[in-house]
Amino acid sequence: MTIQKIETEADQLHFEKALDMLETCRPQSGSDPDWNRLAARVKRGLFQGRQALTCAKRGGQDVPSRLELAKCLFACGEVHQAGLLLEELHRETDNPGCGLALAAWYGETGQVHKGRRLLQQMDPDSLSGLQRMDWLILAADLASFEEDTGEAFRLYKQALEDVKLCIPFNWQPLRRMLIFHNMADTREQMEEPDEALALYDSALKEMRLQKQRDDRVTDLSGYELELLLSLANCLGNAENFEAAHQRLQEAEALMQSVPPAQLSYFQARLLYISGLLAMNEEKNEEAVRCLEQALDLQEDLCARGRDKPEHAARCAYYLASVLPDARADRKLALYDRAWDVFDAVQEKEPSFYILAMADMENERGRLAVSGESAAVHYRKAASLYDSLIRSHPEDLLARRSRLTAWINLFLLDPRPEETDRIRQELSRLRQNDSGSLYLHTVVSWLLDNPHCPRKLHAWLENFRQHLDSPYGA
């Protein structure tokens, strides 16, 4: 049996069959570079990371073998070593596979600008087959990370058109499913839930088509689980709680089909999405229970290189947000846990990460034991909101949150310039938000505050009289 025949099965994503075939022609000495390179690829596809890495280290010094070694290093959580090897390969060769892998590594480690620049140096029209498809989807994903959504959707649509040209027939629906999934994630990022849900429906249809066409593709249950969990989260954000729970139940039923090597990962993901859904339903005790369990699993997975620190950091952030103030020490420790990771990856979806970091600073200020310490945190929060508003001036949530930070600072140190800034921002918000419950709440809270200066009090009384009622038809 030839290596080429086994490689053909791997190209079809039939990794179980490819592994069986490899076992029939295992080299006695264990030193066949081609066999070890292919074994590493197949075992990596089966989530047998450490075994894959062992094989990859026995591979040759040619470019394909070293590239496979870098991918195995990354899959085992040895992210820094993987990056060093990929950068070395990129310097030494113009192999497009190395450039694509390095650009993906930049994206995964939060260096989105570098990843996009690297892709822009490549000519996608000179690529063929899977490499062209990989370029299109990676370029779309990185554009989405940087919130360049117009470019992201242009590239996703091009990828959908090219699937038949670039992807083996037996797993074309799977690739379309993944593209629709990524497009839906981008629509969610844009806060367009109806469009996201329609794309998730398209992805589910492709998943069903994939099962009909070829169910031997490795770990279809894992792909389907990720899709169901994303859909449940989207439905929860849209407050369609009954449908969200239905999707979670479907995901839970699929858990028994997940390969053992992936079970802990998906258990953590299921608990995490369940926690977010409970948050949306304002079931805080249930949210805390789910997120605590998810974080325990994620931290163990991260220690073994089996999950992204980014996932655990998001879980820590949301868990802190639902913990009561009676557990302030735990809340602050969780914010510390999330902060460094968010700071490192903020090029990926900056609207979320910078806003989250600013919100953490606001909370740190609120929980501070001294006014001096609180002021430091509030200033840092306001600075982070400033940076977000410069790039997204229409972001109403950021403007409201920055105003909260300014008010908290003002009440600690009521300077005249701070009074002017609060007046100006309230006036700006009224132009687009005159009847909002938020403005009425903020103004009423300031008026009821005993530390509110008399001049500002009079201005606020007049300001409130000119607000539209938040309860109007």
- Cβ-based neighbour number of residue 427 at 10 Å: 10
What lies within 8 Å, CB to CB, of 406 at 6+ separation is 378, 382, 418, 421, 422, 425
| pLDDT tier for residue 18 given thresholds of 50, 70 and 90 | very high
Please write down the long-range contacts of 181-188, taking CB distance under 8 Å and 24 or more positions apart. 181/226, 181/227, 181/230, 182/137, 182/140, 182/141, 182/144, 182/156, 183/153, 183/156, 184/230, 184/234, 185/144, 185/230, 186/144, 186/149, 186/152, 186/153, 186/156, 188/234, 188/237
Tokens representing residue 377 in the block: 């945190």
Q: What is the mean pLDDT of residues 445-464?
A: 89
The number of angstroms, rounded, from the C-alpha of 75 to the middle of its chain's C-alpha atoms is 17
DSSP labels, 263-302: HHHHHHHHHHHHHHHHHHTT-HHHHHHHHHHHHHHHHHHH
Does pLDDT of 95 surpass 90?
yes
Determine contact, residues 298/341, Cβ cutoff 8 Å. no
Check whether 28 has a pLDDT greater than 80.
no
> How much is the mean pLDDT over the chain?
93
Q: What is the pTM of this model?
A: 0.92
Q: Using 50, 70 and 90 to split pLDDT, how confident is the model at 472?
A: low
Selection from 401, 398, 411 nearest residue 445 by Cα: 411
Q: Is residue 399 scored above 60 in pLDDT?
A: yes
429 vs 21: CA distance, rounded Å: 66
pLDDT digits (tens, 9 = 90+) for 200-227: 999 999 999 999 999 999 999 999 999 9
pLDDT tens digits along 355-378: 999 999 999 999 999 999 999 999
**Whole-number pLDDT of residue 97:** 96
pLDDT over 50 (residue 473)? no
User: Considering only 85-99, 203-217, 430-444, which range has the smallest mean pLDDT?
Assistant: 430-444
DSSP type of residue 94: -
Checking if the pLDDT of 341 tops 70, the result is: yes
| Residue 308 near residue 322 (C-beta atoms within 8 A) | no
Distance CA 160, CA 180 (A): 9
- Kindly state the tokens that stand for 198: 């329609």
Q: Which residues contact 248 (CB under 8 A, 6 or more apart)?
A: 228, 229, 232, 270, 273, 274, 277
Inter-residue contact 14 to 43 (CB < 8 Å): no
Confidence of residue 449 (pLDDT cuts 50, 70, 90): confident
Residue 30: per-residue pLDDT: 62
Q: Quick: pLDDT tens for 52-75.
A: 999 999 999 999 999 999 999 999
What is the C-alpha to C-alpha distance for residues 98 and 92, in angstroms, rounded to an integer? Answer: 10
Residues making up the chain, counted from first to last: 473
Q: Is the distance from CB of 138 to CB of 182 less than 8 angstroms?
A: no
pLDDT bucket at 396, cuts 50 / 70 / 90: confident
* pLDDT (mean) for 408-425: 86
Single out the residue of 454, 427, 431 nearest to residue 442, CA to CA: 427
The answer to whether 429 and 451 have CB atoms below 8 angstroms apart is no
Contact yes or no for 112/142 (Cβ under 8 A): yes
Distance of alpha carbon 133 from alpha carbon 112, whole angstroms = 19
